[in-house]
Amino acid sequence: MTLIPNLFFVKYLFISLFCFALDLYTKYLIKIKFSENIGSGFYVTSDGQYELSVINPFLMIKRISNKGIAWGIDGSGTYAHILTPITIALTVLIIIALYRSSKLKSFILCFPFSLILGGAIGNLYDRIVYGEVVDFIALFQNIFPFIFNLADTFITIGMIFLIFAPVDSLYSMKK
C-alpha cells in the first residue's frame, strides 16, 4: 500500500505554517524595536518609548512578556507547567481536526483549523523556547485592556469562523 498525501491537508498545513512564520517574524521585529527591559515584563524602545501609536487611540504597539495564556490570563505563569502540556495536547487535536476536515475538502472547516493551528504553534513555540510569549498589539485600550499578538489573532479569527460554521459541516467530521 502506498501512502498518497492528502494534498488538501498539505495546502492548509502550509497556511498554518505561514501564520506561524508571520507570527514569529512580527515578534522578532517587536523584540528588536522594544529591546530594553524595564522590569515586570515591560519593555521600551531605545529612545525610551513605552508604546508606539499606529492609529491613536485605537491601535497601539507595546511589548510585554506574557508567561500565562491568551490576553495575559495567568500572567505570572503560575500554572505554565499545567497549561503547556494541555496546549500541546490541544495542538495535536487541532492537527487531527484539520486532517479530518481536509478529507471532506471543506474550506469552511479547514481554513479556521489552519488559522488556529498556526496561532497555537506560534505561541507554543515561544512558551517552550523562551518560557514566555511576546504580546504587542494593544487594541482599544480604553475598552479592551488586553495586549495580544498575531498568534492570538489567528486563533480568535479561526474560532469565530468555526462558531459560524454550519452545524452539518462539524457533524460530518465524525464520519
Mind telling me the catalytic residues? 135, 152
Q: Write out the three cell numbers for 43.
A: 519593555
- Report how far apart, in Å, the C-alpha atoms of 163 and of each of 59, 96, 169 are: 26, 18, 11
- Report how far apart, in Å, the C-alpha atoms of 100 and of each of 23, 94, 105, 136, 137 are: 25, 10, 9, 34, 33
Under DSSP, the state recorded for 73 is: T
CB crowding 55-67: b at 16 or more within 10 Å, else e: eeeeebbbbbbbb
